[in-house]
Chains A and B, each alone.
Chain A
Amino acid sequence: MNSLSLTLFDCVVLVTLLGLAWQLLATPDLFKAMVLFMSFGLVMALAWVRLAAPDVALAEAALGAGLTGPLFLSALHRLRGTRKGERRQQLDSIEHRGKIEKVTQRTSGRIIYLLLRILFAGLLLTLLVHLATILLHVEYENPGLGVFVAEQQEESGVISPVTAVLLNFRGYDTLLEIMVLFVAVVAVWSLATVRFSEKSGQVSPIQQGVVRILAPLMILVAVSLIWQGTHLAGGAFQGGAVLAAAGVLMMVSELPWLRLIPSLPVRLMLVFGPLVFLGLGVSCLADGRFLEYPGELAGFLILLIELACGLSIGLTLACLFVGGRPVDDLVDRGQLEEGS
């Protein structure tokens, strides 16, 4: 009975997932799509829990709901904020529609357009069915790398198998992945300067007060998530994401001191985690290989790396949300002269 209800639950989760995805991709209303996208992330987190992946569920909940959603919302806000942009967008869609209409006015054009769509859909459907048959019929009984992970777990210095894979067995992947995050921030900074909205007085004092209480709590949660990553679900990414969510909350309620943060300390903090990871990896070269933690120190070193990277990841994600370099970072000389 219990397993039956669980199976039902699985089916509901799956159908909801697919329905949400269909809706969010099909709706022409962008705002509605954003909201659907966020709920899609949350249902996804449920699916991860069902599939026994609590680490992934935590990451999805923190990153998907706490960060990707706000990212999309602020991007939508920015896109709508530029009035010319909106007009252009309308023009684009009109132009696009015009083109299609021009083509589809003639019957022959309409038939060709329809045929192309059918062809495309048929092609994709064939591919989907083919891959699904492979999944259904060709079943392999290999346990993957799980056996090896279990065998070497004791030597890794941590109890959680996922953390052992992430930071010890395949630590090199994680190192490169943290560099991907770093490069994303550098790229975002190279593209734009941060802009704060002019109407700063509109945030209610109640909201600011709530944030003042909530933010420290979230920071505590983040640190505990990083800490428990060594033995339970959690770790640098999940903790960093919660940290970033706290930052996003503070930014949204426009605490005044946030605008004054200069570039150099931010850069220092951004580089700190990756540099610690890289430095510890290189220091292992002294009597071993790259990233080969000495046996008894492994647990401690992993915790150190997680703490350093967690902080940097939190700041990195917050910087990605802000979407630009700090105001005092590489100001054009011309602008300065004009200003003074």
Chain B
Amino acid sequence: MTVLFAYKLGGLCLFFMGFTALILRSHPLKKIMAVNVMAAGVFLLFIAMACHGRVGVAIDPVPQAMVLTGIVVSVSVTALALVLACRIQETSGGAGSSEGEHPPQGDS
């Protein structure tokens, strides 16, 4: 019972730590990591909820399925965010761009 609560508290702490880092850190990779930590916190809450009363016994598979969905979603979003961050650096830096020939104007 208390251990389960500790897990839940840990999930909340992870969520808020990630949130703080998301606001305060300026590097894009750090921001993406912060979002991942936040997501891990929420997943921890869900999985701890699936165990009722005692650690080690899960009686509700629905939160687990939801967390699986959430993990896959967060992986795909992370991948997109990383590629986007790389592209920003490449296009604005102007070096090593695979599509370097387009000028930064006349588009929209």
Are chains A and B touching in the complex at the 8 Å CB cutoff? yes
Residues of chain A at the chain B interface (Cβ within 8 Å): 6-7, 10-11, 14, 17-18, 21-22, 24-25, 30, 33, 37, 40, 44, 47-48, 50-53, 55-56, 59-60, 63, 67-68, 71-72, 75-76, 78-79, 81-85, 87-89, 92-93, 96, 120-121, 124, 127-128, 131-132, 135-136, 143-146, 149, 161-162, 164-166, 170, 173-174, 177, 180-181, 183-184, 187-188, 191-193, 195, 237, 316-317, 320-321, 323-324, 332, 334-335
CA A316 to CA B79, docked complex, whole Å: 11
B5 touches A135 (CB 8 A): yes
**Residues of B63-93 whose CB lies within 8 A of A:** 63-69, 71-73, 75-80, 82-87, 89-90, 92-93
The residues of B that contact A33 with a CB separation of less than 8 Å are 29-30, 33
Q: Does B96 count as interface, using CB distance less than 8 angstroms?
A: yes
User: Would you give the shortest CB distance from B83 to chain A, in whole angstroms?
Assistant: 5
A30 touches B16 (CB 8 A): no
The residues of A that contact B12 with a CB separation of less than 8 Å are 128, 131-132, 135
A21 touches B63 (CB 8 A): no
Chain A: interface secondary structure? Answer: helix
Partner of A180, one of B50, B57, B76: B76
The residues of A that contact B82 with a CB separation of less than 8 Å are 71-72, 75, 323
Partner of B8, one of A55, A96, A135: A135
User: Across the two chains, which residue of chain A brings its CB closest to B81?
Assistant: A75
Partner of A14, one of B7, B32, B50: B7
Not counting A53-B50, A173-B65, a sample of 18 additional A-B residue pairs whose C-beta atoms are within 8 angstroms of each other reads A22-B17, A47-B47, A63-B72, A68-B75, A72-B32, A72-B33, A75-B86, A76-B29, A128-B16, A132-B9, A144-B59, A146-B50, A164-B61, A165-B62, A170-B65, A184-B76, A191-B84, A324-B83
A25 touches B34 (CB 8 A): yes
A93 touches B3 (CB 8 A): no
A7-B3, A132-B12 in contact; A184/B57 too (CB < 8 A)?
A: no
A85 touches B61 (CB 8 A): no
CA A335 to CA B97, docked complex, whole Å: 14
CA A93 to CA B25, docked complex, whole Å: 11
A165 touches B44 (CB 8 A): no
B68 touches A166 (CB 8 A): yes
Chain B: interface secondary structure? Answer: helix
What 3 A-B pairs come out closest when comparing CB atoms?
A146-B60, A184-B76, A84-B93
A25-B18, A52-B58 in contact; A14/B6 too (CB < 8 A)?
A: yes
User: Would you give the shortest CB distance from B67 to chain A, in whole angstroms?
Assistant: 5
Partner of B93, one of A14, A60, A88: A88
The residues of A that contact B62 with a CB separation of less than 8 Å are 144-146, 149, 165, 170
CA A191 to CA B86, docked complex, whole Å: 10
**Residues of B1-60 whose CB lies within 8 A of A:** 3, 5-10, 12-14, 16-21, 23, 25-27, 29-30, 32-34, 36-37, 40, 43-44, 47-52, 55-60
CA A17 to CA B79, docked complex, whole Å: 23
A193 touches B75 (CB 8 A): no
A40 touches B40 (CB 8 A): yes
A51-B51, A174-B69, A191-B83 in contact; A56/B64 too (CB < 8 A)?
A: yes
